[in-house]
Amino acid sequence: MVSIFTENLWLANPTTLIWYSELSRFVDLWHRWLDESIPVEVIEEMNHTEERLYPFYKELEDQIVILKLELTGKSVKDNKNDIKKTFCSKNDFGSK
């Protein structure tokens, strides 16, 4: 996911770009944990949880709704309720 984000940074909305470092951090720590090069205790101490990315997922969902509205010629301003309906919860991602 980070490589796709990196390759397409030029397409990202500024409100989405702010999540790049958090996503990179998450994936980097995850890979280190998978490689067993970082102890679980360190991961826990660093608050390494996917929940930190939930606002990023929400931002992506919002941007999809906005793009759909724009592509169909509808006003984003007049359809703010459609954007507010998008909500990522931990249940949406199979977290415990």
Instruction: For 54-72, write each residue's pLDDT tens digit.
Output: 999 999 998 888 888 889 8
Q: Residue 24 pLDDT more than 50?
A: yes
Mean pLDDT along residues 6-24: 91
Among 16-20, 68-72, 90-94, the minimum mean pLDDT is found in 90-94
**pTM score of the predicted model:** 0.72
Mean pLDDT along residues 13-37: 92
- Residue 55 has a pLDDT of 93
Rounded Cα–Cα distance for residues 13 and 69 (Å): 16
- The region, left, alpha or beta by phi > 0 then psi within -120 to 50, assigned to residue 75 is beta
